[in-house]
Structure 1
């Protein structure tokens, strides 16, 4: 796990890469999937409200059906429908990057073709999980998707869940695939991350994906963050990005990070989906609770979470549906 970074030196900051030039930069929010009370069906109205909350607070992109969106609990058709709702509600305001990762190459291709057909401009794809492929099999997997769909692909390194670490050596191979143009690094390994930036930043647009490593990632070369905490605190997450990348106000970034880090640590240690939904409700957008078998936070956890949200000035009166 990344620790809170020390104050960056001017020498380090002077080496910060070029300003982002493409649409793939900034804070991309992997949006939660709201479920209806009772039958736990997809609650499209709540999803639309959540998307507007994100965009009203400045996020630079939306990612449906990621881990924060509880994609392993969704059916194939539900994943397609959630992506459709996101594309419709965003309506071209920011990029929509569909997460289409699955255990079989055929399913990834089907989900990716669907995403392209409804207007998604890019894909995020986690490696096949549970049965771990070899490096050669993984390269072939991404190459097959690239051959089938002409969209930019963000490969997603999250070894804690996929059991696959996209090392610099493996990323050099993946970067040779024509449409593999981006990386989300959720390894929480700052040493490896710095090596990836040093060796591959001319081939891949690199996003930080470790919540507790957001500030360190931005300082050390990430073009942005795929950040689940942005569901609840989009303005604070965007502010951190702007302080580091656009305003070069590193003292301000470190000051904001003290409270953001504590909230991020809670997300990563207390149950991610339950925390994301509770925190987003506290921010004023009620999106329900996690889908079974996962359960809401306890009252004791909610009390601690509320204090962290209050420290960020992120609490609001609830709007929308009543808490489940």
Structure 2
């Protein structure tokens, strides 16, 4: 965001290009680690369009198009498909939650209007709606539902969810501090917050794991923990956005209700980013 609150599309292009060069395996445009919830539809779609055009097919671009209004979710998903994204990340409805029956109907309604692969997103700490194994068992019957970003933090649920993994359904970690545990039971990777400032290392961790280089993967996972703790010391995405600003020399502005992090948080970010070799 610029100081006047408008979206800084030029900086967005530079960040997208940096991620390509650093080895990110994909980019989520308008995910929930950001301020998509404060964007009007025209801005939301313009951000997606900007990232798609900058990346230009070099890595997949996945658009966040979830909503607590099914009709709105359909609109964003259909428009994102027109812009050329490779997939959709669709968070569960929030605030006006849903029963199992209506939740399935919600996802069916959105998925029926697009031809893109869809990743479900369960983050009950933010939405107050947990995608249980029973719910996901039903949802994965929808033909273009191809995976889930699981951010419940409940290891028992994650292990149970891993039993649903097959060649048509992938399990992604939604928590940076649980990546290797999830990979160990059949996960495919992470949709990451720390990846916004350490994309190369985070991607390397995943690739090390699948190459059988378990010690190298574990070393990266454990080394990231202190920085992850600072990134989540205030409400996401306030600290990680400040961290991006520190890393790239970008002025950091927020849209209310988000605001600047506490001075202590900034100091801790500088300390841990330096210790991790980012600054």
RMSD: 1.4
Cα distance in 1 between the residues matched to 2:229 and 2:74: 35
Q: Does 1:77 align with 2:35?
A: no
Distance of 1:271 and 1:134 partners within structure 2: 27
Task: Say if 1:46 and 1:287, in contact at 8 Å, map to a contact too.
Answer: no
2 CA distance for matches of 1:221 and 1:282? 35
Q: Does 1:291 align with 2:255?
A: yes
Q: In structure 1, how many angstroms separate the alpha carbons of the residues matched to 2:251 and 2:97?
A: 33
> Against the structure 1 CA distance between its residues 287 and 50, is the aligned structure 2 distance closer, same or farther, given a 3 Å change threshold?
farther
- Structure 1 runs (4+) deviating above 4 angstroms are none
Partner of 1:303: 267
CA distance in 1: counterparts of 2:130 and 2:249, whole angstroms: 35
Displacement of 1:254 after TM fit?
2.3
What is the 5 A alignment of 1:117-132? 117-132=82-97
Which residue matches 1:86? 51
Q: Kindly report which structure 2 residues correspond to 1:222-261, keeping only aligned pairs within 5 A, or say none.
A: 222-246=187-211, 248-261=212-225
1:177 alignment counterpart: 142
Question: Does structure 1 conserve the Cα–Cα contact (< 8 Å) formed by 2:68 and 2:94?
Answer: yes
Q: TM-score, normalised by structure 2?
A: 0.95
Unaligned runs of 5+ in 2: none
Number of matched residues? 279
Tell me if the contact between 2:238 and 2:259 (Cα under 8 Å) persists in the aligned partners: yes
Q: Is the 8 Å Cα contact of residues 49 and 285 (structure 1) preserved in structure 2?
A: no
Any conservation in 1 of the 2:231–2:269 contact (CA below 8 Å)?
no
Gaps of 5+ in 1: 1-34, 316-324
Deviations 1:94-135 (A, max 9, x none): 111111001111111111111111101211101111111111
Q: What is the TM-score normalised by the length of structure 1? A: 0.83
Deviation per CA, 1:14-66: give whole Å up to 9, x if none.
xxxxxxxxxxxxxxxxxxxxx011x2111001101111111111001111111
2:43 & 2:134 partners in 1: Cα distance?
A: 35
1:89 Cα shift?
0.8
* Structure-1 residue corresponding to 2:27: 62
3-state secondary structure, aligned to 1:269: coil
